[in-house]
Structure 1
């Protein structure tokens, strides 16, 4: 080792002498390489840095969840810190949601049909979109309280009648669960209890429009432990009502509501006393012996069809919101299921909803004071509907309207593109923050604290 070091020193000295030999006496000492080319080195370093940042922020699409997590790992910590607003820390109890990035066949492929993101069942699309850019989203599944499974099952429109055909829903959801459970361990560790689905259909996760068939089929076994966001809800025991479900409003486009109100203000003149547009069968026993709307709509047409104060129409009209904003009372009778998009449209456009659906659970009842802004008429009392409306019109109508026209209520029932404080997706997050006992992360943290 010593001899090698000596030889190295000799070589170095020889090289130095040789360089002196060729140098002129009058020449200034040469500037060292690093100092001479400092600007170029700095330019190259900065360029490489920004190019690396660009690549990091533009990951390619992936087909596996494992690859997706690897791609996001470098920014997961900063995202989880930056995405925690003061509202999340406080009102939402520092809630964190992981959104599975599934292959496009489960969701975005369906968006080729524009109706997919705009019809009454489109809350499954709206909630997914809002969560993608939400402050509560985490890219680190280990830090998640809940896991959102974005599968669009109501965008398969029938070519016969144009209605959503959801016969494929069970198979599509089961396939999605198989995928996420094979890629990541989080479904199996909790048996899906901290996973969230949307079932914005007539009878929720029973996935059928006819109640008897829905009850017969029941909720798929693999979804029974999970949290289901659904429009269907009743105050009595029902096989299609999961005990951990959250009742959400049907989807109504905020843009169409805003457009309607820009032409007719919510507190403007209303020249229609009572309004309803929709299916009203003269002979309601029209589907395999089943009575549509339990004959309620038929009775309304029979009783009030010739009363000029009642604006009752059986056919569709694209601009029907312009009729709602002109109406004082909007009838919201049950269809095949108790809920109706008319509930949201009535509130959003300032028309007093008249709810005719026994035992219905309404969306966000802890936030929306339904008893102060709506009327409830029992299905069997629909023949006395006129007397009820006349009484209210002559007594406390102005009070109800004043309560109804609070813009906070309109916001709470509409899904914005991004989560906005007080909007429908925000209300979903508030409801989830009250179910943190189902969070595996929280349970683990509490156990570790207790052990200490």
Structure 2
């Protein structure tokens, strides 16, 4: 009789047994070790980037000594790091990276850029210069056209973090920028000429027509009827003569006060802040040195929506702790306005001839809480700025009730005013054109976000059949016609 040897089966391990506890502990430690390694790796990368940025901005090197080596002490290396960070921050949900939008800067004939500066100089007694590019662009409240143009002509390694990259080949471009100095053109001829001149009087209307004739001959304008073009017309009257011929383009404007809904809209266009003319407040938040409750200095009499100014003058000018006075544009007025805004808790911002005015942006950089009385105002960068946190909005019909506005402002506690100031300080860089990561980059970000819509409109237009030859082009998505072009 054979005896079978029995194999002893291992007893099931209790979850509370010593061996199970040891296995669980080992597994947990392994997981923690993996997480710790990942965290440590991420921390090292962050430290590395911070070190690069610190060396770049606090220990800048001479650009003439830069070479092609990857050194974190060079501006070029910082550009690489920041551009990679920008690409990562721009990645979409599918995990694909979104690269900066490619923009082509038209080489306009000089009469539409530096030639406008030259005529402005001539009208004020200036003399001809050999190199027009040496002329200084004159300061005024619609200087965005100069800042955007100046940004695009800079070397790319100085445009770190910009949402758009300039390309020299128009075939590679997503968008085309037309750098016409349309706002400066409006003020070339002074109201009262400073000197007598035999030179012909400059004509803004002729400039507009000539610019449009040149643009309509360009291959890339004709390709998509100007839809992928970006044109600045910041002054409410800029390019008014040709606005119907550029309404398909992305327009950079201050507001929609003088354009029709078929010419411009928030769907396709971008609201720009005025370039502020007063000094930026460099101090910290606080109300100790802001003794004035409410400040306003500007033209008392305006047209259209600005007529409310005279009513506000009548209501407020007798109040003891309110400064409201008439003041025209001048160097002395700007100094007085800077002092007034820097020493006031609130700054009055009524409508001008159009819904917006430069005073709002002067208020913001002064940390003077804006009191906005303009029912139809459109505001820049509203996708990233909640203006309710930095400003007080009052309907025009309510603001002109005697005693109402003053009672609202006096009821606000010091703590609430400080909250407004804190938010103003956080966002004021958006309204500073001179800042490296200020207004210009924010405008380009807004421009880059229009690209999907532009592509949609271009592709949609190619398949639609126009039912009538006289049917006007629609500058925004305001039609649901679906006639299909079967021939293309």
- What TM-score, normalized to structure 2? 0.61
Aligned length: 336
Deviations 1:17-71 (A, max 9, x none): xxxxxxxxxxxxxxxxxxxxxxxxxxxxxxxxxxxxxxxxxxxxxxxxxxxxxxx
2:273 aligned partner: 249
Does residue 140 (structure 1) correspond to residue 169 (structure 2)? The answer is: yes
1:175 aligned partner: 210
Partner Cα distance (1:222, 1:83) in 2:
39
Does residue 227 (structure 1) correspond to residue 254 (structure 2)? The answer is: no
1:203 is displaced (CA, Å) by: 5.5
Does residue 199 (structure 1) correspond to residue 233 (structure 2)? The answer is: yes
Q: 2:398 aligns with which of 364, 377, 381?
A: 381
Partner Cα distance (2:203, 2:81) in 1:
39
Q: Which moved more, 1:130-139 or 1:382-391?
A: 382-391
Partner Cα distance (1:115, 1:306) in 2:
43
Partner Cα distance (1:204, 1:160) in 2:
17
Superposed CA RMSD: 3.6
SS at match of 1:331: strand
Q: 1:130 to 1:399 in 2, by over 3 A?
A: farther
Q: 1:239 to 1:204 in 2, by over 3 A?
A: farther
Q: 2:189 aligns with which of 141, 158, 166?
A: 158
Contact 2:381 2:442 in 1 (8 A): yes
SS at match of 2:166: coil
Partner Cα distance (1:90, 1:186) in 2:
31
Contact 2:398 2:404 in 1 (8 A): no
Structure in which a larger fraction of residues adopt helix: 1
Does residue 118 (structure 1) correspond to residue 139 (structure 2)? The answer is: yes
1:153 is displaced (CA, Å) by: 1.8
Partner Cα distance (2:272, 2:367) in 1:
20
1:100 aligned partner: 106
User: Which sections of structure 2, spanning at least 5 residues, go unmatched?
Assistant: 1-79, 91-97, 122-134, 194-201, 463-488
Contact 1:352 1:401 in 2 (8 A): no
Q: 1:428 to 1:85 in 2, by over 3 A?
A: farther
1:288 aligned partner: none
Find the structure with the greater CA-based Rg: 1
Partner Cα distance (1:124, 1:353) in 2:
25
Contact 2:270 2:446 in 1 (8 A): yes
Deviations 1:341-365 (A, max 9, x none): 0110111110111111112111111
SS at match of 1:147: strand
1:109 aligned partner: 115
SS at match of 1:193: coil
Contact 1:347 1:404 in 2 (8 A): no
Partner Cα distance (1:94, 1:369) in 2:
26
Partner Cα distance (1:322, 1:222) in 2:
44
Deviations 1:151-188 (A, max 9, x none): 012223332258xxxx9555424423433453x52111
Contact 1:121 1:200 in 2 (8 A): yes
Contact 1:146 1:195 in 2 (8 A): yes
Partner Cα distance (1:169, 1:270) in 2:
43
Partner Cα distance (1:373, 1:409) in 2:
9
2:86 aligned partner: 87
1:314 aligned partner: 326
Q: 1:168 to 1:378 in 2, by over 3 A?
A: farther
1:336 is displaced (CA, Å) by: 0.8
Q: 1:128 aligns with which of 134, 149, 159?
A: 149
Q: Which moved more, 1:118-127 or 1:84-93?
A: 84-93
Q: 1:430 to 1:385 in 2, by over 3 A?
A: farther
Contact 1:273 1:328 in 2 (8 A): yes
1:328 aligned partner: 345
Q: 1:275 aligns with which of 276, 295, 299?
A: 295
Q: 1:226 to 1:275 in 2, by over 3 A?
A: same
Does residue 416 (structure 1) correspond to residue 450 (structure 2)? The answer is: no
Contact 1:277 1:314 in 2 (8 A): yes
